[in-house]
A = this chain, B = another copy of it.
């Protein structure tokens, strides 16, 4: 797949660049998601499962952000989506200019949904607009139920919270009600999905939302 390597020192006017990206995608009818989480919460696996489940129903493109390696982009490409890898070489988040460079290498024809998988980092990515229509924060049951309280900016910046690794709930101390309560305290409009990428539990509801979101169905996505 194409690969864009970004130097660390770019950036000026991120919001302007993000706005231009948003217009560029909207002109083609492409909706965009910015997917963020801690390292290892399961962003790539969630994308693999989503792409596989929706293969015949939705044309999805992916921009894979990683500090190093193309391993995740290779997984996504195998799952069946057009993919561009961004390697930031140390930078801890994606910026809009990186997305612009990646879009130049992605075949946008016919795409309905673009998913931008951000760097694994629950802090810095929350501050950078990438031109997306919505932000999804992915949490997992193995990383503790204190995350919404300890990383409120990320949960405040997101439209959707997905809690992954439901299958491991019996083996960890994770109070789902507390997570919901704290997440909704910092962000009352947050839409929350609970699922397991391993067992498939809860994936249908998430995929239904993805389709409604990509088609711009306001009733189903909660958009204004």
Contacts and interface: CB of A to CB of B under 8 A. Distances in A.
Interface of A: 38-41, 66-69, 71, 90, 92, 119-124, 140, 142-144, 146-147, 149-153, 165, 167-168, 171-172
A46 to B, nearest CB: 13
A150 B38 contact: no
B92 A123 contact: yes
13 contacts: A40-B144, A40-B147, A41-B143, A67-B150, A67-B151, A68-B152, A90-B123, A92-B121, A120-B122, A120-B150, A120-B151, A121-B124, A143-B143
Nearest to A37: B39
Q: Sorted from nearest, which 10 A-B pairs have the closest CB atoms? A: A40-B143, A142-B142, A92-B123, A40-B144, A38-B39, A39-B122, A38-B38, A92-B124, A69-B149, A121-B123
A14 to B, nearest CB: 16
Contacts of A92: 92, 121, 123-124
A68 B168 contact: no
Contacts of A152: 67-68
A65 to B, nearest CB: 11
In the complex, the count of this chain's copies comes to 2
Nearest to A144: B40
Contacts of A90: 123, 153
A149 B38 contact: no
Nearest to A124: B92
Contacts of A153: 67, 90
What does DSSP make chain A's interface, helix, strand, loop or mixed? loop
Nearest to A170: B171
Q: Give the interface centre of A40, A144, A165, A168 by most chain B CB atoms within 10 Å.
A: A40
B39 A151 contact: yes
A178 to B, nearest CB: 12
Q: Give the interface centre of A69, A149, A150 by most chain B CB atoms within 10 Å.
A: A150
Contact of A124 (B40, B41, B123): B123
A159 B9 CA distance: 29
Given A68-B150, A69-B149, A124 B124 contact: yes
